[in-house]
Amino acid sequence: MATPDPYDAISTLELALLQLKEDRTWAAYEALRKRDREEVFEAAVQLLRSPSARERALGADLLVQATGYDEEARLERGARSADVLLAAIPTEPDASVLRAMGHTLGYLADARAVPVLRALKDHPDSRVRLGVASGLSQHQDPVALQTLLELSRDTDASVREEAISALSLKDEDAVDSPELREAFLDRLSDEVTDIRTDALVGLARRKDPRVREPLRRELERQPTTSTAIEAARYLEDASFLPLLLAVREATRPMDDVFEDAIDFAIDCLGGRAP
Protein backbone atom coordinates (compact mmCIF):
# COMPACT_ATOMS: atom_id res chain seq x y z
CA MET A 1 0.00 0.00 0.00
CA ALA A 2 1.32 3.41 -0.98
CA THR A 3 2.17 5.79 1.85
CA PRO A 4 -0.30 8.73 1.91
CA ASP A 5 1.18 12.10 1.02
CA PRO A 6 1.26 14.09 4.29
CA TYR A 7 0.35 17.24 2.37
CA ASP A 8 -2.86 15.86 0.87
CA ALA A 9 -4.86 16.85 3.94
CA ILE A 10 -3.53 20.42 3.95
CA SER A 11 -5.44 23.17 2.15
CA THR A 12 -3.74 25.00 -0.70
CA LEU A 13 -3.60 28.17 1.40
CA GLU A 14 -1.92 26.34 4.29
CA LEU A 15 0.45 24.64 1.87
CA ALA A 16 1.36 28.02 0.39
CA LEU A 17 2.03 29.48 3.83
CA LEU A 18 4.55 26.72 4.49
CA GLN A 19 6.77 28.46 1.94
CA LEU A 20 7.29 31.28 4.46
CA LYS A 21 8.47 29.00 7.26
CA GLU A 22 12.11 28.40 8.00
CA ASP A 23 11.60 24.63 7.98
CA ARG A 24 9.86 24.50 4.59
CA THR A 25 10.77 21.46 2.53
CA TRP A 26 11.21 20.69 -1.14
CA ALA A 27 8.39 18.15 -0.82
CA ALA A 28 6.00 20.89 0.34
CA TYR A 29 7.05 23.08 -2.57
CA GLU A 30 6.49 20.27 -5.05
CA ALA A 31 3.11 19.47 -3.50
CA LEU A 32 2.06 23.09 -3.99
CA ARG A 33 3.14 23.02 -7.63
CA LYS A 34 0.82 20.06 -8.22
CA ARG A 35 -2.27 21.82 -6.84
CA ASP A 36 -5.14 22.84 -9.10
CA ARG A 37 -4.60 26.29 -10.62
CA GLU A 38 -7.99 27.52 -9.48
CA GLU A 39 -7.18 26.57 -5.90
CA VAL A 40 -3.84 28.34 -6.16
CA PHE A 41 -5.53 31.43 -7.58
CA GLU A 42 -7.99 31.57 -4.69
CA ALA A 43 -5.16 31.13 -2.19
CA ALA A 44 -3.21 33.93 -3.87
CA VAL A 45 -6.20 36.27 -3.67
CA GLN A 46 -6.60 35.51 0.02
CA LEU A 47 -2.93 36.15 0.68
CA LEU A 48 -3.05 39.48 -1.13
CA ARG A 49 -5.67 40.59 1.42
CA SER A 50 -3.47 39.62 4.37
CA PRO A 51 -2.21 42.26 6.85
CA SER A 52 1.22 40.60 6.54
CA ALA A 53 3.51 42.04 3.84
CA ARG A 54 5.32 38.71 3.52
CA GLU A 55 2.04 36.95 2.84
CA ARG A 56 0.94 39.56 0.29
CA ALA A 57 4.25 39.18 -1.53
CA LEU A 58 3.75 35.42 -1.55
CA GLY A 59 0.30 35.96 -3.01
CA ALA A 60 1.76 38.01 -5.85
CA ASP A 61 4.31 35.30 -6.54
CA LEU A 62 1.65 32.57 -6.51
CA LEU A 63 -0.26 34.26 -9.32
CA VAL A 64 2.43 33.04 -11.71
CA GLN A 65 1.63 29.44 -10.78
CA ALA A 66 -2.10 30.16 -10.84
CA THR A 67 -1.73 31.42 -14.41
CA GLY A 68 0.49 28.61 -15.67
CA TYR A 69 4.02 28.37 -17.00
CA ASP A 70 3.45 28.18 -20.74
CA GLU A 71 2.52 30.82 -23.30
CA GLU A 72 -0.94 29.43 -23.99
CA ALA A 73 -1.84 29.44 -20.29
CA ARG A 74 -0.52 32.96 -19.87
CA LEU A 75 -2.67 34.22 -22.72
CA GLU A 76 -5.77 32.39 -21.51
CA ARG A 77 -5.53 33.04 -17.79
CA GLY A 78 -3.13 35.94 -17.34
CA ALA A 79 -5.69 38.75 -17.57
CA ARG A 80 -7.46 37.59 -14.41
CA SER A 81 -4.23 37.55 -12.45
CA ALA A 82 -3.31 40.98 -13.82
CA ASP A 83 -6.74 42.29 -12.77
CA VAL A 84 -6.01 41.34 -9.17
CA LEU A 85 -2.55 42.93 -9.12
CA LEU A 86 -3.54 46.12 -10.93
CA ALA A 87 -6.38 46.63 -8.45
CA ALA A 88 -4.04 46.11 -5.47
CA ILE A 89 -1.03 48.22 -6.51
CA PRO A 90 -2.50 51.70 -5.89
CA THR A 91 -3.08 51.00 -2.19
CA GLU A 92 -0.08 48.74 -1.51
CA PRO A 93 2.29 50.45 0.98
CA ASP A 94 5.08 47.88 1.20
CA ALA A 95 8.09 48.04 -1.15
CA SER A 96 8.81 44.30 -1.08
CA VAL A 97 5.22 43.54 -2.07
CA LEU A 98 5.30 46.08 -4.90
CA ARG A 99 8.50 44.47 -6.14
CA ALA A 100 6.82 41.04 -6.18
CA MET A 101 3.80 42.49 -7.96
CA GLY A 102 6.02 44.05 -10.61
CA HIS A 103 7.88 40.80 -11.13
CA THR A 104 4.65 38.86 -11.67
CA LEU A 105 3.29 41.53 -14.01
CA GLY A 106 6.49 41.13 -16.00
CA TYR A 107 5.62 37.49 -16.51
CA LEU A 108 2.00 38.24 -17.36
CA ALA A 109 3.04 40.92 -19.91
CA ASP A 110 -0.38 42.61 -19.72
CA ALA A 111 -0.29 45.96 -21.55
CA ARG A 112 -2.49 47.57 -18.90
CA ALA A 113 0.40 47.34 -16.46
CA VAL A 114 2.59 49.80 -18.37
CA PRO A 115 1.08 53.10 -17.14
CA VAL A 116 0.60 51.71 -13.63
CA LEU A 117 4.26 50.71 -13.37
CA ARG A 118 5.43 53.88 -15.07
CA ALA A 119 3.87 55.86 -12.22
CA LEU A 120 6.18 54.06 -9.77
CA LYS A 121 9.48 54.58 -11.63
CA ASP A 122 10.65 57.36 -9.27
CA HIS A 123 9.67 55.56 -6.08
CA PRO A 124 12.23 56.28 -3.33
CA ASP A 125 12.71 52.58 -2.58
CA SER A 126 14.94 50.79 -5.08
CA ARG A 127 13.02 47.54 -4.57
CA VAL A 128 9.96 49.13 -6.13
CA ARG A 129 11.97 50.52 -9.04
CA LEU A 130 13.43 47.04 -9.54
CA GLY A 131 9.89 45.68 -9.72
CA VAL A 132 9.03 48.34 -12.30
CA ALA A 133 11.99 47.36 -14.49
CA SER A 134 11.08 43.69 -14.20
CA GLY A 135 7.43 44.40 -14.88
CA LEU A 136 8.18 46.31 -18.07
CA SER A 137 10.80 43.90 -19.40
CA GLN A 138 8.46 42.15 -21.86
CA HIS A 139 6.92 45.30 -23.35
CA GLN A 140 8.03 47.17 -26.46
CA ASP A 141 5.65 50.12 -26.57
CA PRO A 142 7.23 53.61 -26.35
CA VAL A 143 6.21 54.27 -22.74
CA ALA A 144 7.73 51.01 -21.49
CA LEU A 145 10.92 51.53 -23.47
CA GLN A 146 11.31 55.11 -22.26
CA THR A 147 10.87 54.00 -18.67
CA LEU A 148 13.48 51.26 -19.07
CA LEU A 149 15.86 53.80 -20.60
CA GLU A 150 15.45 56.04 -17.58
CA LEU A 151 15.89 53.15 -15.16
CA SER A 152 19.08 52.08 -16.97
CA ARG A 153 20.64 55.19 -15.36
CA ASP A 154 19.29 54.43 -11.87
CA THR A 155 21.53 54.96 -8.86
CA ASP A 156 20.91 51.37 -7.74
CA ALA A 157 22.96 48.74 -9.58
CA SER A 158 20.26 46.07 -9.42
CA VAL A 159 17.76 48.40 -11.08
CA ARG A 160 20.25 49.40 -13.78
CA GLU A 161 21.07 45.77 -14.44
CA GLU A 162 17.41 44.73 -14.76
CA ALA A 163 16.66 47.61 -17.11
CA ILE A 164 19.72 47.28 -19.36
CA SER A 165 19.29 43.50 -19.55
CA ALA A 166 15.69 43.93 -20.70
CA LEU A 167 16.75 46.46 -23.32
CA SER A 168 19.64 44.33 -24.58
CA LEU A 169 17.26 41.44 -25.25
CA LYS A 170 14.94 43.50 -27.46
CA ASP A 171 14.93 42.43 -31.08
CA GLU A 172 17.26 44.74 -32.96
CA ASP A 173 15.00 44.88 -36.00
CA ALA A 174 11.99 45.93 -33.93
CA VAL A 175 13.60 48.15 -31.29
CA ASP A 176 16.35 50.60 -32.19
CA SER A 177 16.94 54.32 -31.77
CA PRO A 178 19.80 56.76 -31.17
CA GLU A 179 18.62 57.15 -27.56
CA LEU A 180 18.71 53.41 -27.00
CA ARG A 181 22.23 53.15 -28.38
CA GLU A 182 23.34 56.06 -26.21
CA ALA A 183 21.93 54.27 -23.17
CA PHE A 184 24.05 51.22 -24.03
CA LEU A 185 27.12 53.41 -24.55
CA ASP A 186 26.59 55.08 -21.19
CA ARG A 187 26.65 51.71 -19.45
CA LEU A 188 29.92 50.54 -21.02
CA SER A 189 31.79 52.25 -18.20
CA ASP A 190 29.58 50.81 -15.46
CA GLU A 191 31.42 49.27 -12.53
CA VAL A 192 29.16 46.19 -12.63
CA THR A 193 30.40 43.58 -15.12
CA ASP A 194 26.95 42.19 -15.97
CA ILE A 195 25.69 45.67 -16.83
CA ARG A 196 28.69 46.41 -19.06
CA THR A 197 28.41 43.13 -20.92
CA ASP A 198 24.64 43.43 -21.41
CA ALA A 199 25.27 46.86 -22.91
CA LEU A 200 27.87 45.31 -25.21
CA VAL A 201 25.28 42.77 -26.38
CA GLY A 202 22.76 45.53 -27.05
CA LEU A 203 25.19 47.46 -29.24
CA ALA A 204 26.62 44.38 -30.93
CA ARG A 205 23.15 43.16 -31.93
CA ARG A 206 22.67 46.50 -33.69
CA LYS A 207 26.12 46.28 -35.33
CA ASP A 208 27.12 49.63 -33.87
CA PRO A 209 30.82 50.15 -34.70
CA ARG A 210 31.41 51.99 -31.42
CA VAL A 211 31.22 48.68 -29.61
CA ARG A 212 34.44 47.28 -31.10
CA GLU A 213 37.07 48.74 -28.76
CA PRO A 214 35.04 48.36 -25.55
CA LEU A 215 34.33 44.77 -26.55
CA ARG A 216 38.01 44.07 -27.17
CA ARG A 217 38.82 45.44 -23.72
CA GLU A 218 36.12 43.32 -22.10
CA LEU A 219 37.35 40.17 -23.86
CA GLU A 220 40.85 40.87 -22.58
CA ARG A 221 39.65 41.01 -18.96
CA GLN A 222 40.18 38.00 -16.74
CA PRO A 223 37.91 36.25 -16.26
CA THR A 224 36.05 36.81 -19.50
CA THR A 225 32.29 36.39 -19.30
CA SER A 226 30.06 34.33 -21.57
CA THR A 227 27.96 37.46 -22.19
CA ALA A 228 30.98 39.24 -23.68
CA ILE A 229 31.52 36.19 -25.87
CA GLU A 230 27.89 36.42 -26.92
CA ALA A 231 28.41 40.07 -27.91
CA ALA A 232 31.31 39.08 -30.15
CA ARG A 233 29.09 36.53 -31.86
CA TYR A 234 26.35 39.09 -32.46
CA LEU A 235 28.80 41.62 -33.88
CA GLU A 236 29.77 39.14 -36.63
CA ASP A 237 33.20 40.74 -37.03
CA ALA A 238 35.76 38.11 -38.09
CA SER A 239 38.61 40.27 -36.80
CA PHE A 240 37.59 39.12 -33.30
CA LEU A 241 38.33 35.48 -34.13
CA PRO A 242 42.00 35.48 -33.00
CA LEU A 243 41.00 37.11 -29.74
CA LEU A 244 38.27 34.53 -29.11
CA LEU A 245 40.70 31.70 -29.81
CA ALA A 246 43.18 33.26 -27.38
CA VAL A 247 40.45 33.59 -24.73
CA ARG A 248 39.53 29.95 -25.19
CA GLU A 249 43.12 28.85 -24.80
CA ALA A 250 43.60 30.98 -21.68
CA THR A 251 40.36 29.93 -20.00
CA ARG A 252 41.17 26.44 -18.80
CA PRO A 253 39.50 24.68 -17.20
CA MET A 254 36.12 26.08 -18.30
CA ASP A 255 32.59 25.09 -17.44
CA ASP A 256 30.24 23.64 -20.05
CA VAL A 257 28.20 26.84 -20.46
CA PHE A 258 31.26 28.95 -21.21
CA GLU A 259 32.75 26.31 -23.50
CA ASP A 260 29.53 26.02 -25.51
CA ALA A 261 29.26 29.82 -25.79
CA ILE A 262 32.80 30.40 -27.01
CA ASP A 263 32.81 27.41 -29.37
CA PHE A 264 29.56 28.64 -30.92
CA ALA A 265 30.94 32.17 -31.29
CA ILE A 266 34.13 30.89 -32.92
CA ASP A 267 32.11 28.78 -35.31
CA CYS A 268 29.83 31.73 -36.19
CA LEU A 269 32.88 33.83 -37.06
CA GLY A 270 34.16 31.18 -39.41
CA GLY A 271 36.73 29.54 -37.17
CA ARG A 272 36.97 26.19 -35.49
CA ALA A 273 37.55 25.60 -31.81
CA PRO A 274 40.70 23.57 -31.07
Q: For residues 101 and 89, what is the distance between their CA atoms, to the nearest angstrom?
A: 8
pLDDT of res. 273: 62
User: What architecture is the 172-274 domain classified under in CATH?
Assistant: Alpha Horseshoe (1.25)
Give per-residue pLDDT as tens, 91-104: 999 999 999 999 99
Give per-residue pLDDT as tens, 218-228: 999 888 999 99
Q: For residues 118 and 129, what is the distance between their CA atoms, to the nearest angstrom?
A: 10
Residue 39: pLDDT band with limits 50, 70, 90? very high
Give per-residue pLDDT as tens, 113-155: 999 999 999 999 999 999 999 999 999 999 999 999 999 999 9
Q: For residues 170 and 182, what is the distance between their CA atoms, to the nearest angstrom?
A: 15
> Helix/strand/coil (H, E, C) string of the chain?
CCCCCCCCCCCHHHHHHHHHCCCCCHHHHHHHHCCCHHHHHHHHHHHHCCCCHHHHHHHHHHHHHHHCCCHHHHHHHHHHHHHHHHHHHHHCCCHHHHHHHHHHHHHHCCCCHHHHHHCCCCCCCHHHHHHHHHHCCCCCCHHHHHHHHHHCCCCCHHHHHHHHHHHHCCCCCCCCCHHHHHHHHHHCCCCCHHHHHHHHHHHHHCCCHHHHHHHHHHHHCCCCCHHHHHHHHHHCCHHHHHHHHHHHHHCCCCCHHHHHHHHHHHHHCCCCCC
pLDDT of res. 77: 87
| Cα radius of gyration (the chain) | 22
pLDDT of res. 2: 45
Determine which of 14-18, 38-42, 264-268 has the lowest per-residue pLDDT on average. 14-18
Is the pTM here over 0.75, yes or no?
A: yes
Backbone φ and ψ for 22, nearest 5 degrees, come out as -65, -30
pLDDT of res. 1: 39
pLDDT of res. 254: 83
| Residue 28 pLDDT exceeds 90 | no
